[in-house]
Amino acid sequence: QVQLVQSGAELKKPGASVKVSCKASGYTFTNYGIYWVRQAPGQGLEWVGWISGYNGHTNYAQKLQGRVTLTTDTSTSTAYMDLRSLRSDDTAVYYCARVLGELLDFWGQGTLVAISS
Amino acid sequence: QSALTQPASVSGSPGQSITVSCTGTSSDIGGYNYVSWFQQHPGKAPKLILYEVSNRPSGVSNRFSGSKSGNTASLTISGLQAEDEADYYCSSYTSSITRVFGTGTKVTVI
């Protein structure tokens, strides 16, 4: 069965970096893309970016351009989100989701990233 | 890219039909038939319930339907059930080759 398993919660200080992983199983990783979506506490969903599992092509939300990098390791079927220069308003649950066209059909369990001095 | 506009809350009685609107611009909703809707229960990951305006993924109840007119998309839930109480988010592809989500709507079954 398809599963996306994300890494555990992180507590970071302002200005630091965080790397969240999303390990996929149960399907051919290179046939799908991965979306990253975040949700601040009590707030709505915010699109972070997309990466192709096939060739690593990426698109990022303009708001996060320059601070976020999405990568994949096809040998382990794992996607990564690297977010730098962390600020308090980056505190959120970060989700990865499998995507093919407009179908976001499987989601990870979410990873809480908390920023606090 | 500004978030798409949704009403903060919509409520209905069991068995009724309700509609949630999602308003964008010609650079997102109005320009493409790539509108999706997600349902999110508290503490859970979002779940896709509609894509490409009106298509339902396998396993999603046919009580959920979608439409679009101009820059506004709509989600209709018919035969409202207690389990439908959740937050609902629309999302659209944009001319910047990105995606944007709506502000979210809390659906309450009263």
- pLDDT per position as a tens digit, B46-55: 999 999 999 9
> Which residue, among B6, B22, B37, B48, would best test binding to A if mutated, counting the most A CBs under 10 Å from its CB?
B48
Look at residue B80 in the predicted model and tell me its pLDDT.
98
C-alpha–C-alpha distance, residues B104 and B39, integer Å: 10
**Residue A61: its chain B contacts at CB < 8 A?**
1, 98
Looking at the predicted structure, is the pLDDT value of residue B63 above 80? yes
| Inter-chain CB proximity B104 and A45 less than 8 Å | yes
Give me the mean pLDDT over the A37-56 stretch: 97
What's the Cα-to-Cα distance from A32 to each of A85, B23, B40, rounded to whole Å? Answer: 29, 29, 23
Looking at the predicted structure, is the pLDDT value of residue B1 above 80? no
Looking at the predicted structure, is the pLDDT value of residue B83 above 80? yes
Give the chain B residue whose CA is nearest to the CA of A42.
B42
Least confident of A86-90, A100-104, B88-92, B105-109: A100-104
pLDDT averaged over chain A? 97
CA distance B78 to chain A (A): 23
CA distance A79 to chain B (A): 18
| Inter-chain CB proximity B99 and A50 less than 8 Å | yes
- Give the DSSP letter of residue A55: T
A47 interface with B at CB cutoff 8 Å? yes
Closest CA to A30 of A13, A53, A10: A53
**What is the phi/psi pair of residue B50, to 5°?**
-150, 145
Give the chain A residue whose CA is nearest to the CA of B8.
A44
What's the Cα-to-Cα distance from B97 to each of A61, A62, A84, B39, B92, rounded to whole Å? Answer: 9, 10, 23, 24, 10
Element (DSSP H or E) covering residue A8: none
pLDDT averaged over chain B? 97
| Inter-chain CB proximity A62 and B45 less than 8 Å | no
Look at residue B109 in the predicted model and tell me its pLDDT.
98
> Residues B75, A20: contact at Cβ < 8 Å?
no
* pLDDT band at A75; cut points 50, 70, 90: very high
* Residues with Cβ within 8 Å of residue B96, at least 6 apart in sequence: A62, B1, B27
Looking at the predicted structure, is the pLDDT value of residue B78 above 90? yes
Look at residue A102 in the predicted model and tell me its pLDDT.
87
Looking at the predicted structure, is the pLDDT value of residue A10 above 90? yes
Tokens 């978030």 locate to B3
C-alpha–C-alpha distance, residues B76 and A12, integer Å: 41
C-alpha–C-alpha distance, residues A98 and A109, integer Å: 12
Residue in B1, B3, B96 nearest the CB of A44: B3
